[in-house]
Structure 1
Amino acid sequence: MSSADDSLYPIAMLIDQLNNDDLQVRLNSIKKLSTIAQALGEERTRSELIPFLTEAIYDVEVLLALADQLGKFTSLVGGPGFAMYLLPPLESLATVEESVVRDKAVESLRTVAAEHSAQDLEIHVVPTLQRFVSNDWIPSRTSACALFSVCYPRVPHSVKAELRASFLKLCHDGTAMVRRAAASKLGEFCKVVETEYLKSDLIPSLVQLANDEQDSVRLLVVEACVGIAQILPQDDVENLVLPTLRQCASDSSWRVRCMVADQLVDLQMAVGPEITEVCLLTTFECLLKDEEAEVRAAMASKVRDFCANLTKANQVQLILSCILPCVRELVSDLNSHVRSALASVIMGLSPILGAYETMQHLLHLFLIQLGDNCPEVRMNIVSNLHSINDIIGIQQVSESLLPAIIELAEDSKWRVRLAIVEYMPALAGELGPKFFDQKLSHLCQRWLNDHVFAIREAAVLNMKKLVELFGAPWAEQAIIPMILGMSDNMNYLHRITCLFGLSVLVEVCGTDMTARLLLPTIILLADDPIANVRFNVAKTLQKISPFLEGTVIEVLVKPTLDKLNVDTDADVKYFAAQAIAGIAAA
């Protein structure tokens, strides 16, 4: 092949691959564009590869990959001074009908635009943006909205005026899709616009968009309010932004109100505690009582964070007088999603209110939710029980909530049982071994025999934690008999649990107790009729061997493994051989 042919090979190869019927081949060719560009060199990448990519038409997956690749191509066309060569293909991609391709192309355009010098930005990027704005094709105008905040800070004042006018034009566009795009980028654009123009130009557009006929536009105004509130002085926020937000909070569309609920804590952080107390607290209460369950659920999930950000001087008083009455209603809400959202955060009020107010106002709410008929509610409460231990004390927790906790230990939903199992070491550790023997021992026995493996596994791991707390002598009396008793269970899964429990406890029981109490049962199970049990014996013997003396290994462990090594079951022989090799190498 001649040198001229060699120079054309990368492009020819790319063409062949892009014309392949296999989508994966076409995708892989696009993902290798950087390699092809390196082979061509910077000049030929600009003059040959980029024009080829601009004119070619592919399917959506390939276009998406191309849009992503071009955002990383600046160094391959010669650096920032040549970044303008990437604009034509990205401009083409940013006007396609498929939204995922457009979004990726716009993301890459923003990256490439930021790499331009100020002069090149004005010469090349701004005209691209203006073509987007003036295009009759709707997707083109939607793509334009994301580029204003990148261009505006680095262009002359005269160009800034043009950009502001263009953005306002998009805010008033006759197509809802374009107005949505403008509303979604309004807050971002406001952060780079001078305050005087923000007040005179953009906030009136904010107000107009808040009255748009499409709720999909109005709900995006809420996020813009948060962005604007972060940059304006508090007086301006109160006068210019909060009226629009209050309007959104009482919007006829539940979707708009739900967006207010989602964004209210962010807005609270932006405006500070004083405006929150004067202006936002009432909105918060109203949304907690909203007629739509989705809004109440969204707001209920924000209760803890909203309360935590209230001014410290009035925090407890405001919670007790304004928010807690709403919380009491939500605890008995007819919608389970609302109750579940509240259950995930309600215990977080305890550190804010303190021990006395928790005892007075929250404990009975916890009890109601612990007995809720929805398992998700019970699960969320149980999962957060640890958060109140330090506030009211574990003794008070046990006295007030223990009956409900014990009842949940046998809950029909295994995830609820699992949460109780995982909470139990903290409870037992604080209250001591006597408490465990009296109140929890029978529960642990049931957990060890639970039909769900995750419960059995968690119960065993908890016992290890308890032995670490209470000591090996206690374990010999309270725990080990419980686990050894599972060795003759009719269900082979529980016999496997017995082996798992013994292999875990050996780490905390010591050499003497392992050889004297645990090893005999393990060896006994080597004759189990179920192959799964026998190969678990081999695995267990290997695991406990570091905790045994050499003579014990020679006399008891190795003969048992030798017997398993000639077992009729292939898996048993395999794990026995593994154990023999592992012990020999130790």
Structure 2
Amino acid sequence: MAGADGDDSLYPIAVLIDELRNEDVQLRLNSIKKLSTIALALGVERTRTELLPFLTDTIYDEDEVLLALAEQLGNFTMLVGGPEYVHCLLPPLESLATVEETVVRDKAVESLRKISHEHSPVDLEVHFEPLTLVMPTLRQAAEDKSWRVRYMVADKFSELQKAVGPEITKNDLVPAFQNLLKDCEAEVRAAAANKVKEFCENLPEDSRETIIMTHILPCVKELVSDTNQHVKSALASVIMGLSTILGKDNTIEHLLPLFLAQLKDECPEVRLNIISNLDCVNEVIGIRQLSQSLLPAIVELAEDAKWRVRLAIIEYMPLLAGQLGVEFFDEKLNSLCMAWLVDHVYAIREAATCNLTKLVEKFGAEWAQNTIVPKVLGMANDPNYLHRMTTLFCINALSEACGQEITTKHMLPVVLKMSNDQVANVRFNVAKSLQKIGPVLDSNSLQTEVKPVLEKLAADQDIDVKYFAQEAISVLALA
């Protein structure tokens, strides 16, 4: 058989080119799998000078074809003339090691490792080692025209930083990181902003503060007022961590204005992310420094039109309470916690009830008796039956944390009184509450106060009230 121009020596490459350009993926895959046969037909010199350059220049194909090629090239040492010429396999394998598909890259690296053992010490130094010189590629990737490439660089920046070491970080990664923080695409800026704390933590200790103050903080200040809320939110989730790195003086002078600006941000997620990380600042400067701007931000979040935002701030309330202290909490935030108990969204009322329990665990039963319990019990007379039921839910949650004395003396009388409520839903929740708080009560109260009420409810006209009353009698062994 001969090529179109009658030259037998050109046939294998000509056929391979045609087959690799064929639309049939399986045909292209079969061609790659017979590369060793083609290489044998070509001979070592033409394999080096024609086949390998052709493969290097045309590595754009389906992943399964590239995977087969990466595997084939790992066995090509003798086909290119032995160890003396094995370095010829590096260009195509290097290209394969940079494709998007992970399994292809892994196979290319596996083949590179395989042929590395067949290099002489001199060839390793001259030909192979320049492949560990990652900075040219990294610089190019950090400035790539495709934002997705730049995004991946930003997303993996901490790993890159650890891999290249302190000197390259100072000389090359710092300016690259600055550029990513200023990138024209919001997705890239957000990915980089998310790495700010980690990047700063991993900077060389002897120059960390200087690098942050000179190169990173100016970029961070710009991001605080970024036009994209995802960028601002990403930054807010990590920026508080800079305070432990930079110390008290720098935090007060340079970071605190940024925190306060973010606490006033129009985006709820930004404010939430700042509030959720307050403990970082508390360790360095104390929470009082933030209190003037903190309170308005919390109030706005607590009253946000989106119930999920209100729910999020409730979940952070025990953390805030611990940081702010009981006096500040009672003065500024107690009323918010009570207001959530009558929110029109059930999930908010439920979360607010759990929140009270956590606050009692933090501040103690005596605090609860003086501040929380009276307000909760006062809701038992609310015209809205949903609010009356919230009283029962709160009692269920608080009884164990408050203990036997407070439960028996203050909560039990209210529950018993509510057994006469006109709404059946309230009455059967009374039965459920008595079952819940029963283990906290002493045996005398159970027999003389709880049992008669449950027996009355067990004879109620409403079937649900009967059921839950009978269940409570059974569980508490009052029959």
Scaled by the length of structure 2, the TM-score of the pair is 0.77
* Aligned equivalent of 2:409: 516
| Pair 1:576-2:466 in alignment | no
State the alpha-carbon separation in 2 of the partners of residues 145 and 524 from structure 1.
81
Bigger mean CA deviation after superposition, 194-203 or 454-463: 194-203
| Secondary structure of the corresponding residue to residue 479 of structure 1 | helix
Gaps of 5+ in 1: 1-94, 103-126, 205-227
| Pair 1:382-2:275 in alignment | yes
In the TM superposition, residue 502 of structure 1 has moved relative to its aligned partner by: 0.7
Q: Summarize deviations over 1:36-66 as a string: whole Å, max 9, x none.
A: xxxxxxxxxxxxxxxxxxxxxxxxxxxxxxx
| Secondary structure of the corresponding residue to residue 316 of structure 2 | helix
8 Å Cα contact 1:145/1:181 also seen in 2: no
8 Å Cα contact 1:449/1:456 also seen in 2: yes
Q: Summarize deviations over 1:482-503 as a string: whole Å, max 9, x none.
A: 1112223333332222111111
State the alpha-carbon separation in 2 of the partners of residues 203 and 370 from structure 1.
56
8 Å Cα contact 1:132/1:143 also seen in 2: no
- The match for 1:292 among 163, 173, 185 is 185
Matches within 5 A, 1:284-363: 284-363=177-256
Matches within 5 A, 1:103-182: 130=33, 138=62, 140-144=64-68, 158=78, 182=104
* Aligned equivalent of 2:438: 545
| Pair 1:464-2:386 in alignment | no
Whose RCO is larger (CA < 8 A, sep 6+)? 2
- The match for 2:376 among 483, 495, 511 is 483
State the alpha-carbon separation in 1 of the partners of residues 248 and 451 from structure 2.
58
In the TM superposition, residue 330 of structure 1 has moved relative to its aligned partner by: 0.8
Q: Which amino acid aligns with 1:144?
A: A
Q: Which amino acid aligns with 2:311?
A: L
- The match for 1:194 among 94, 116, 119 is 116
State the alpha-carbon separation in 1 of the partners of residues 308 and 272 from structure 2.
7
- The match for 2:342 among 425, 449, 474 is 449
Bigger mean CA deviation after superposition, 469-478 or 271-280: 469-478
In the TM superposition, residue 311 of structure 1 has moved relative to its aligned partner by: 0.5
In the TM superposition, residue 412 of structure 1 has moved relative to its aligned partner by: 2.8
Q: Moved runs in structure 1, 4+ residues, more than 6 A?
A: 132-135, 159-167, 170-173, 176-181, 197-204
- The match for 2:144 among 240, 248, 251 is 251
State the alpha-carbon separation in 1 of the partners of residues 176 and 232 from structure 2.
20
* Aligned equivalent of 1:398: 291
* Aligned equivalent of 1:425: 318
Q: Which amino acid aligns with 1:322?
A: H
Corresponding residue pairs, total: 428
| Secondary structure of the corresponding residue to residue 537 of structure 1 | helix
Bigger mean CA deviation after superposition, 324-333 or 392-401: 392-401
Percentage of matched positions with identical amino acids: 51
Q: Summarize deviations over 1:550-586 as a string: whole Å, max 9, x none.
A: 1211122122222222333333333222211110189
Bigger mean CA deviation after superposition, 364-373 or 282-291: 364-373
Gaps of 5+ in 2: 1-23, 39-60
State the alpha-carbon separation in 1 of the partners of residues 36 and 389 from structure 2.
69
State the alpha-carbon separation in 2 of the partners of residues 488 and 200 from structure 1.
89
Residues 380 and 456 of structure 1, relative CA distance in 2, 3 Å threshold: same
* Aligned equivalent of 1:45: none
Residues 169 and 420 of structure 1, relative CA distance in 2, 3 Å threshold: closer
Q: Which amino acid aligns with 2:116?
A: E
Q: Summarize deviations over 1:456-495 as a string: whole Å, max 9, x none.
A: 2333333233333443333222111111122233333322
In the TM superposition, residue 342 of structure 1 has moved relative to its aligned partner by: 1.1
| Secondary structure of the corresponding residue to residue 134 of structure 2 | helix
State the alpha-carbon separation in 2 of the partners of residues 178 and 426 from structure 1.
43
Q: Summarize deviations over 1:116-151 as a string: whole Å, max 9, x none.
A: xxxxxxxxxxx999459999x9564244267579xx
State the alpha-carbon separation in 1 of the partners of residues 445 and 217 from structure 2.
64
* Aligned equivalent of 1:533: 426
In the TM superposition, residue 433 of structure 1 has moved relative to its aligned partner by: 3.5
| Secondary structure of the corresponding residue to residue 476 of structure 2 | helix
- The match for 2:304 among 398, 407, 411 is 411
* Aligned equivalent of 1:66: none
Q: Which amino acid aligns with 1:358?
A: T
| Secondary structure of the corresponding residue to residue 356 of structure 1 | helix
Q: Which amino acid aligns with 2:364?
A: G
State the alpha-carbon separation in 1 of the partners of residues 405 and 68 from structure 2.
76
Q: Which amino acid aligns with 2:180?
A: L
Scaled by the length of structure 1, the TM-score of the pair is 0.64
In the TM superposition, residue 418 of structure 1 has moved relative to its aligned partner by: 3.2
Bigger mean CA deviation after superposition, 257-266 or 409-418: 409-418
State the alpha-carbon separation in 1 of the partners of residues 102 and 35 from structure 2.
16
8 Å Cα contact 1:523/1:560 also seen in 2: yes
State the alpha-carbon separation in 2 of the partners of residues 414 and 306 from structure 1.
35
Residues 451 and 576 of structure 1, relative CA distance in 2, 3 Å threshold: same
8 Å Cα contact 2:71/2:107 also seen in 1: no
Q: Over aligned residues, Cα RMSD in angstroms?
A: 4.0
Residues 338 and 517 of structure 1, relative CA distance in 2, 3 Å threshold: same
* Aligned equivalent of 1:281: 174
| Secondary structure of the corresponding residue to residue 188 of structure 2 | helix
Bigger mean CA deviation after superposition, 538-547 or 561-570: 561-570
Residues 311 and 524 of structure 1, relative CA distance in 2, 3 Å threshold: same
Residues 191 and 530 of structure 1, relative CA distance in 2, 3 Å threshold: farther
State the alpha-carbon separation in 2 of the partners of residues 481 and 464 from structure 1.
15
